[in-house]
Amino acid sequence: MTELKQRPAQGYWALALRKLVRNRSAMISVLVLVLIVLCCLSAPWYARHVSHTDPFQSNLSGTVLRHGQTVEVLGPADNPLKLGIEPIGPSWQFGPYMLGADQQGRDVAARLLYGGQNSLLISSIAAIVTLVLAGLTGIIAGFFGGFIDAAITWALDALWAFPVFLLAISLSVVLIAHGLDIGPLRLDASSLALPITIIGIIYVPYVARPIRATVLMLRQSEFVLAAIGIGASPWRIVWRDIVPNVISTIIVFAPLIIALNLLTEAALSFLSIGVQAPAASWGTIIHDGESLIYTRPIVAIAPGLLIVITVIALNILGDGLRDALDPRAKLRL
């Protein structure tokens, strides 16, 4: 007779992690994302030891050594009318101006790395803001119901009614001009906290509504009714019974919201109402590259490609998380 081997019982999170690790696409996405984050974190090292330039300072009259010759970072174009100045092109070698220069003579590769830091930081922190606010409002509205639910739902509907980019642009245009100054809360126009706040707020309804729906369902479940029956306090029920059942939904949303935020930040920065110069983000670099699209297209294409790769990776990771945490869920933004 063969003996049945007894496996130790696995918890919900361990099981989910196992499922995620087995998902090859999700793991490749994680790898890609880790690589991008590590590259972006290396920006100061790259600027100091590889590009040897300050990517935030104009270098219009600078020179660089290329193929043993000193060449201008912004040199005259070669044409019969002697018209125009062109930034130096990519060398495609690990060194100064690997991806060439932008119109201010700054190293594009170094700016891409610094820009990535800002883009990822803004989209990640804004996602945390969104998820915390959405989680709070969704849980409170769904669990307590009545007037509180009506008020929160009304506020979320009002926010939802605005086209999301129109709302983001309107808020940005107003706040970028003078910064945010409400009582003790003061945000400078050039502060990264400003795009974080704007982007963090605009997506709250998109997450809060499904969370509220989940909580409404949980509110009628037997274990919650039992807890109410034995006289547990509402906050205890929320903390012990509701939150653990909602947290997986929030986690599934996280990479999807980060991806959305990344796109929104890029759009705002492209319109000059996101990250403010001299700071860079992938959106501002695309904006800088717009005026060089005919001569140095790499300036706009490189950050665009990085955005595409990051967003695809985040979406695949989001799908992987959904499959791992709740395979029956049909969460879509």
Partner 1 sequence: MIKRLLVLALLLTGIAPAQAAPAGYGGTLRMVTVSASGTFDPQVNYTLRYAQLFQMLYDGLVTFAKTGGPQSVTIVPDLATAVPVPTDHGLTYQFTLRTGIKFSNGEIVTTDAVVHSFRRLFKVNSPNAGTWYDVIVGGRRCLAHPHSCKLQGLVADPATNSITFHLRHPDAEFLDQLALAFAAILPVNTPDHNMGTTPIPGTGAYEVKSYDPSTGLVMVRNPYFHQWSALAQPKGFPNVITYRFGLSAESQVTAIENGQYDWMFEDVPADRLNEIATKYTKQVHITPTNWTVYVPMNVNIPPFNNKDARLAVEYAMNRESAVKLAGGNRLAIPTCVTLPPKMPGYSPYCPFTKNPGKIWTAPDWRLARHYMKKSGMIGQKVTVITSLQAPYRQIGVYTQDVLNRLGFKASVKAISPNIDFTYIQNTDNHVQISITDWAQDYPAPSDFLNVLYSCNSFHRGSDSSINISGFCDPAIDAEMANAELISLKHPNQANLLWGHIDHQITRRAAAVNLFSFERLDFVSARLRNFQFSGEYFFLPQLAQIKPKVQP
**Is 60 or 309 the residue whose CB approaches partner 1 more closely?**
60
- Sole window of 22-30, 31-39, 82-90, 112-120 interacting with partner 1 (rule: CB under 8 A): 82-90
CA distances from 144 to 102, 155, 215 (A): 55, 16, 10
Give the residue from 195, 268, 166, 119 showing the smallest Cα distance to 187.
Answer: 195
CA distances from 162 to 93, 156, 256, 305 (A): 47, 10, 20, 29
Smallest distance from partner 1 to CB 286, Å: 14
- 70 binding partner 1? (CB under 8 A): no
**Is 299 or 324 the residue whose CB approaches partner 1 more closely?**
299
Give the residue from 225, 252, 272, 246 showing the smallest Cα distance to 319.
Answer: 252
Dihedral angle computed from the Cα positions of residues 195, 198, 202 and 208, in that order, rounded to the nearest 10 degrees: 100
- 174 binding partner 1? (CB under 8 A): no
Instruction: Say which residue the tokens 């926010």 belong to.
Output: 159
- 84 binding partner 1? (CB under 8 A): yes
- 42 binding partner 1? (CB under 8 A): no
Residue 145, both tokens: 């119901």
Smallest distance from partner 1 to CB 86, Å: 6
Count of alpha carbons within 13 Å of 166, Cβ hemisphere only? 5
- 60 binding partner 1? (CB under 8 A): yes
CA distances from 306 to 32, 41, 101, 166, 310 (A): 11, 15, 18, 25, 6
**Is 151 or 173 the residue whose CB approaches partner 1 more closely?**
173
233 three-state secondary structure: coil
Instruction: Count CB atoms within 10 A of the CB of residue 206.
Output: 19
User: Which residue from 35, 163, 290, 308 is in contact with partner 1, where contact means CB under 8 A?
Assistant: 290
Per-residue contact string for residues 183-212; x = within reach of partner 1 by CB under 8 A: ------xx----------------------
Helix axes 204-219, 193-202, angle to 10 degrees: 50
**Is 15 or 77 the residue whose CB approaches partner 1 more closely?**
77
- Give the total of residues touching partner 1 (CB under 8 A): 34
Give the 3-state secondary structure of 139-185.
HHHHHHCHHHHHHHHHHHHHHHHCCHHHHHHHHHHHHHHHCEEECCE
User: Which residue from 68, 80, 229, 327 is in contact with partner 1, where contact means CB under 8 A?
Assistant: 80
Smallest distance from partner 1 to CB 170, Å: 16
Contact 280, 115 (CB under 8 A): yes
- Sole window of 134-142, 240-248, 272-280, 310-318 interacting with partner 1 (rule: CB under 8 A): 272-280
User: Which residue from 252, 296, 302, 321 is in contact with partner 1, where contact means CB under 8 A?
Assistant: 296
User: Which residue from 2, 69, 70, 79 is in contact with partner 1, where contact means CB under 8 A?
Assistant: 79
Smallest distance from partner 1 to CB 129, Å: 24
Using CB under 8 A, list all residues that contact partner 1: 56-58, 60-61, 74, 76-86, 103-104, 176-177, 189-190, 272, 276-278, 290-296
